Amino acid sequence: MRIVSAMAQVAKAPRPRFAKPGANPTLETIEYVLAALRKAGGPVSRNRLLAALGDWGHSTTRQSLNAAVNFLGDQGMIAEGSKGLLWVPEASQELLEAIRKGPRL
């Protein structure tokens, strides 16, 4: 007789939000993308980002780059504007407190 827990019968495997066929960046790729954006000091196009990764000996596909960018954007680590991708530094506790308690305009 096989005993299966109630949780195992009810729970379904989660659907991946960012992984797509042919577009599964590795953790290494995500770290390279983040490092390139941190070092850039300003907005960077996706083409320039692919070139920078290639210069570092870590080329990737555009689909994997897009998946990595979508993941980092969802985590609030990067932003995309009209000029390109930009690293968003983490806000300090003091800044968050000032935003929360400061005067409203």
- Mean pLDDT along residues 74-103: 85
Answer yes or no: pTM beyond 0.85: no
More confident residue, 103 or 6: 103
Name the one residue in this structure whose structure tokens are 């290639």.
54
Angle, helices 27-40/46-55, rounded to nearest 10 degrees: 110
Name the one residue in this structure whose structure tokens are 């983040």.
34
Angular region, 60: left φ>0, alpha ψ -120 to 50, beta rest: beta
Model confidence pLDDT, tens digit, residues 16-67: 777 777 778 999 999 999 999 999 989 999 999 999 999 999 989 999 999 9
pLDDT at 2: 58
**Which residues, in sequence order, are CB contacts of 20 under 8 Å at separation 6+?**
63, 67
Q: Which fold has domain 19-101?
A: Arc Repressor Mutant, subunit A (1.10.10)
